[in-house]
Structure 1
Amino acid sequence: MKLQRATIYGFGRWVDETIDFSGHSYICIYGENESGKSTLQQFLLFMLFGLPPKQRTFYQPKSSGKLGGRLTVIDDNGKKFTIERLDQVRNGAAKCYTQAGEEHDETWLKEKLKGMTKTIYESIFSFSGADLSNITKMKEDDLGEVLLGIGLTGSNNIYSIEKRLDSKMGDLFKRYGKKPVINQQLKTLEELFSDLKKHEAREDTYKEKKTDIQVIKNEISSLQSSIHQAKEDRFTLEKQQQALPLIKKYHYYLSELSNYPSQIAFPEDGIERLNQLKEQLLPLKSELSVVEDNQRKYKERREELQQKLHEEAVYKQAQEIIEGEQSYLENRREIEKIRVTVKQLETQMKKELEELDLGLDPGDLSNITFPFQIEKTWNDIKNNRDQLNAEQDQIDQEAEYLKKQQNELESLREEEEACVLADQQRNECVHKLNRYNEQDYMRSFQAAKSNQQLKWEKAKKQKEKRISNLFLASVVAAVLIALLASITDDSLLFTGTVILLLLGGGQYFLGKRSLHVTDQFLDTNEEVISSSTITKEEKENIEHLLAEDKQRREKLEVTLQQLKALHVQLMKWEEKKFALQTKEKQLLVRMEEQYKHYPFLEKISVSYWPEFYHAMKNLLSQNRKKVEYEALYQKLNEYQIEFENKCRIFLQDISGESVNDAMEFQLKIIRKSLEDRENAKNVLRQYENWSIDNAEQQRVLKQKVETYEREIRNLYDTANVNSEDDFLKKAKQVEKKKEITEKINQFVSQLSIIFPDGDQNTFINGKGINEQTLQGKYEQNKEVIGELEKEIEAKRHQLASVHSDISNLEMSEAYSNIMHRFHRESEHLKKLANEWAVLQTAKGILTETKRSYRKKYLDKVINRTSTFFAVLTDHRYIKVYPPLENTFFQVEASDEIRYNVNELSKGTIDQLYISLRLAISEIMSNKHCLPFIIDDAFVHFDSIRTMRVMEILADQAKHQQIILFTCKSDILQAAQKAKIIRLGNPIRI
């Protein structure tokens, strides 16, 4: 789409103005500050996308009541239509008029714009100098949001959906929020949990109070024991006071007893004791007989139970089976989970394979393997194909250019050859010009010769005189030397004389000869000038004709040289074409090799191989997971079958019949067998314990029988008798003494009753008997009892208080109510959490969709960014790397060193941002060919960088309209290839 004409009824400072954008795709709008450049830019955006009422109010003209205008554009199909917007008409909605006279509404315009919005347009097709710093903070997600606008026409719907998802998720839960539902629910649960803990603490207090009751009871019991002991002590003191008269009588009868021998060989109460022993011995023997009979019965019962039990190995195997039951049940759940997962993977792989439309089934993925270098190989093939296509286009363009140039040069050569003089005609002209030159030369020569003849005559006389003088001088010198030689008779002097004569004669002869030759030359007769003379006018015409012919021949020579150079270029073109064909053959060989290994690649364009690789890599990864899950499923299933067989065989072994019941029933039978075995063991242990007790009882009875028999023998031994009769006779002898001692014994018995602890001997002997001492001890004991009774009363009050607290706790239902409410609110929280999880999953799917679209365009954008950046920086930087999650943009210099964007100069950062925006605009123009608007974005550029970016913009304008707003005169001078629109007051077009 290209802008043709903007008619402004009223918009800001612009009123009734028209701006023509036609005739050129590269437009530079120049104006000083406050000349209306930004307002004009907003007007264009208003015409394309509209403005809300509040924003339209901001641009209401001060000197006009109308706000709006018309914008004439040409769409991608070359059809012209006009957009009209008026503030007070249709609430600022667009009305579109086609050349065919049709009228359309805002919806039609949006369809023409292919869903483009103002926000997306400003992020892709428009930027200013204020935006240049964005690249230093741009991260992966920021770039992804821009790229999403490239990949999705309705990306604003995705933004709105994402916003609604975030809003709903925010209504449900925020990490540090208080109003969201889940946050409030969590707060409610925290409060309930706090109350629950308090009641649990009260429950713990209940246990403590129960413990306190027992402790208090124990203390009361201890105190009661103490007071009981004190009362017993008091009772003892009272008895001691009562026993004093008995002790005195005891001493009286003791003195009577001293009249009898001190020792009589007869056991005390021998007759009675003997009768008692005999009476006790008889039932013991009877009981012993019964116990021995019971021991025989216990033994028979144990043997009967042991016969019913299986071997220990059987129960050990049953125990192993029961121990493996939990693993069996967990494996069964895991198998079901794996089955569902494998089904989901198969469905996902089948869906993705159907989307790829390669004719592959999920089962074919197991036979596909990708070496580690295949991604690089496919990228190389794709890049080579793109490069070859580019080279082929370049070669085709070059061939067309060379052919056109050759035709032009051939035509020019033929024209120039037709214009040059023929060789014969040119030779005649040269001959005539030579004849004229000869004639002119002869005339000049004759005049010079006459003048020279006069000068020569004078010089000749002087030269003849000089030659003669030299000859005479040499003769005279020779004569003198000869005379001297004759006098001295020196042969060398004679030789010198000869040499002088020869030199003098030779010089004279040569001089004369030279003069003669000169005379002959000067005396030569004049050549006769040809009668056919050429006039000066004819000579000038001939020279003019030859000069024109020379120029034509020079032009012809230049043309011939150009044809030769063009021939060399054609030869080089042929070499390039041959090299390109060789590369294509090599590429085809590589492609055929890939087709051989991966036949499904034939259905895919080479340009999409890298994307296909990542898709297949994901599918292969899913297939590997499926295979791993299937292997785990098989392993677990084998374990389950082995466990079931083990159970079935075990039950068959112990029952002797085949078992086909369900595993739960089989395991129940096995557990029942273990329980029966344990019960039988308990019974056996009981019988064993009974047997042990019985044996012990027999031993005790036998020991008692033996004891009684030994006692009877002891009685006989004491009485020094061997039979019962002798024993009875001796009993009569001691009866009289016994009557005496009975009185003493009576007193002793009475004292024993009074003093059950055996302290009667002390009182009998008269030691420690003191009425005052006993009275003092009695008073002291009375005080102790009083203190203990008070303490017991206090403990009883404490016990009653604890009983009251426990009663209150047992009657309270608050704990159960809070517990019930806590579980109910927990279930509500789970529902809210599930709802939030669904929204989170939806957002994750939406994010993944955005990421896939971002990946689709990221490589293209970054490659074009690298190309533009390399040109702008004169190839000092050759590659651009996109930002990642935790990094910013990086660039690679020609020495292969990488730099972070923050490490670059301001001008270089601006170059990088402009390269990125140009790349995004170019990629986007494939789908939305909209004008690219730039507002003073080259403020930090020097003259060289400005010229480079102007060249790039001029080149981009070949396929996309470029509108450059600037207030810089140096940028205006650099934009020589652009159509210049100067803004002033008023505006001049």
Structure 2
Amino acid sequence: MRIEKLNIYGFGKHENVTVDFGPGITVLYGLNEAGKTTIQQFILHILFGFPQKNNVLLRYEPKSGGKYGGQVHLVDETYGKCIVERIRGKSAGDVTVYFEDGTKGGEVQLNTLLRQYDRASFESIFSFSLLQLQGFEKMDEDELSRTLLASGTTGVDSMLQLGNRMEKELGDLFKKSGRVPEMNVKIMELRELEIELKDEQEKVGEYAPSIERIREIDDLLTELREQEKELMQGSQKLALVRQLLPLHQKKQALVARLSQLSAITFPVDGIRRYEMLAGKLTEAEASKQRLEEEVAELLARMPEQQEFERIAELETLLAKETEWHRWQTAVTFEEDNVSQLTSSKRRLLDRLGIKGFEAENTIFEADVSIQKEENMHKIIRELTEGDQQMGFVNRQLIQVENELADTETEISGTERTAPTIKELEHVQQWPKIRQQLAEAKAYVSLRGRSAGQKSLMIPALLVILAIAFIVFGFIQKEWLIIIAGVIVIGLGISLYSKRQDQTPDSSKLQQMEKIIAAYDGNEDQMEELTERIGIYKRKKEKLQEVFMALERKYQTLTSELENAYSNRRQIELELANFLGLYGFNEIPSTAIIPELFRMIREVQEVTRELNDAVLRRQTIQQQIVERLAEAEKIVRKSAPKEAIYEMLRREFIQLNEQAETIKSLSAALERKQSALKETSSLANSLLEKVQALFSEAAADTEEAFYAAYNIHQEALRLKGQQEDVDAQLASYGHLELPDGVMDDELRIKLDDNSAILLSISERLNVLINDKAALVNKTERLLTDENYGRKLQLFEMKKSELAELAKKWSERKAITEAIRRTMSELKEKKLPEVLEAAERLFCELTGGNYESLSVTETGHFEVLAKSGMRYPIVELSQATKEQAYISLRLALAASIVSTAPFPLMLDDPFVHFDEERLSRMIELLDNLQNKHQFIYFTCHEVMKDKWQGATILNVSEIGNERGAMVI
């Protein structure tokens, strides 16, 4: 792609300018502020769009308000000749691309033409200046290596900036030995909370062993009851064995004993039921006693006074705290706003030059509607158009005057070449003399022969010769030869008519010979004179016609200029009347009239805003006073405005804590009373069941119940023995005693079982009492909420730390991805660019440095001819710049197939000595067949350094003839 020409409609200081670029390197020379940078920015603005008005880049809009934009003429290998035109329009301007085949396009086609490159990508590769090289001297090794790496690979610069930002955010989140980063702060808070939790856990730690002990007691109770059951079954078996003793001796005793015991009754499974009810009754009574103690304790802790109405009022006011702070902020804001608006109003009035109350009222009451503004712009536009029209007519008038002067000069020069009167007479007589000369030559030729030789042959030969002259004249388009042929034909016919009867005339022959002697040999001279006089006459007539046309055009332009002056005076009068409505007696520059109108509108807006701000401030101050009085009434004491909500908050916290205590104690009391009621009901129910068992056993006490049980058991045993004896007697006839078994031994065993059962019963009672005490203890631990609050806070802090850790991990992942991407660029993309840059660097340094490489740590180093390696930071400023330029040129060469853009260089060689500069220029000369180079410089000596380059003097730009080629 090559830029052929620039057409600048209006851009910065340039207006109606054409800049033609040469086929090779183009050097744009100009002094400071000549407009070199403006041309460079014009190319970038037209290709990539005008920047936003709030952008750091300048828009370079024409100060005179003329047409904004221009054209860039391009030649592309793929798309042929193209014209990119961008003019004022939307924010980036309205762009049109004209292709060679007559088609048009917009932004989409322009992006395709520019290979989807944006301005930043283009400037990072194809445009660099001295400003980018001046900071090399102050860079350390890392910064310099990153800059060189960014210049050698596209897109690395933004990636490095993102990596630096991520590294900074990582440091803000966590440092190994830091105290300020957020994660370090959270970790310290968690450690402190962990210590507090350990203290609470020591208290709560007693809960788990108590629960475990309760479970153990339940297991022991179950086990003891199983043992009790087994022992009872064993006792029954022993009793049966004793009943098998001599049946015959015992049968009468059993019958007698059973007759004595037949009147005693005992509930079924009475002992087990009694012991189960006794255990439950003991537990219920223990729980009841514990609950009665707790209810008494809660009643003792219950506060006497409760102020729920004040709490509600405080809560209502505290809910409006945001409103209170908003009022405070709003008052401060409105006071600042009033001050600023007053200052702004005064400043605007001073800038407008308005002094006095009457003048201010005129400004305040002035009509600044859209219609008035449109009317103002219409007048200014008409005035500007009138000025432009006058300027255009003036320029045309000056051009016509110059053309008239040039035409008069040409007419005068033409008249100096005018032929003389004698030459004019010769030319006028020449046709007649030419005919006479031809006749004379023919006559002398014919008269020189004898009369006897005259025949019809001579006229025939003359006719043939004449025909040949005519044919040759037509072929050569020589009208004189054709005329001569016609004359010869006439002469032949004349001779043929006279033939032999013609008498010789010696006087006529002499006359003819005189004519031949006078004019023979002057034909060419006379023909040249005739042609020259004809050219003179035609040129003079043409110049006179042009002169007359220019005079008519001059008269027309003069009339147009007078009309334009008259129209402008009328518009100025209309503008003066318009400005008089706003208190201005003089007409300022048209460029500042919209600003004056805007400032008048701004004064009115500021005045309205000032009045509104004063009213809002008064309203808010009244609300603050009312709120302060309401708060003092609730807290029952006076308080400063700044601390009123702090006092309300303390009062609310105090009352709320009291209310929470009452609420908690009331809930606990209600819960305990309900439990006490249930426990009392349970105890009464169990006691009734026990009494029912006693009544059924006809016993009043536990001992009597157990005695009745024993009697019942005895009766059962005897009855069983009797049945067995009867069965055995019926079956076997008589009972045989077991060998080695004595009645005393069986009795001892039964006594032992009874003792064990008694021991188990006592142990059951002890375990039931222990369980009741442990249950009481665990319920007290459950009501303590301090550990829960601390644990909840600990979990919240852990969650916050997890969120921060997630952020840290995300940024760490991005940093690692950038590091890997940089590594991949170094391994894949950079070697190709580095290899080409190494050759260029070696060439630019005259072979002093043989290689340019990147170390494993990411730093650039060079290999000198002597074999020594040097970090890039240790090289001179000019050598660093040579490395940077080598990388830029190598990168541009590596992507020339996909991005064949021209390179724009803004004086990047000023630090080079003569030898380095010569090598640099020679290198660019060798590369110009691949790239178009556009070099901007303010150093006059650089003009002489380029051989065969197109040198444009930017200082001469400004007229309609374009840049001056030196």
Scaled to the shorter chain, the TM-score interval is 0.3 to 0.5
What is the TM-score normalised by the length of structure 2? 0.36
TM-score by length of 1: 0.35
Q: Which of the two has higher C-alpha Rg?
A: 1
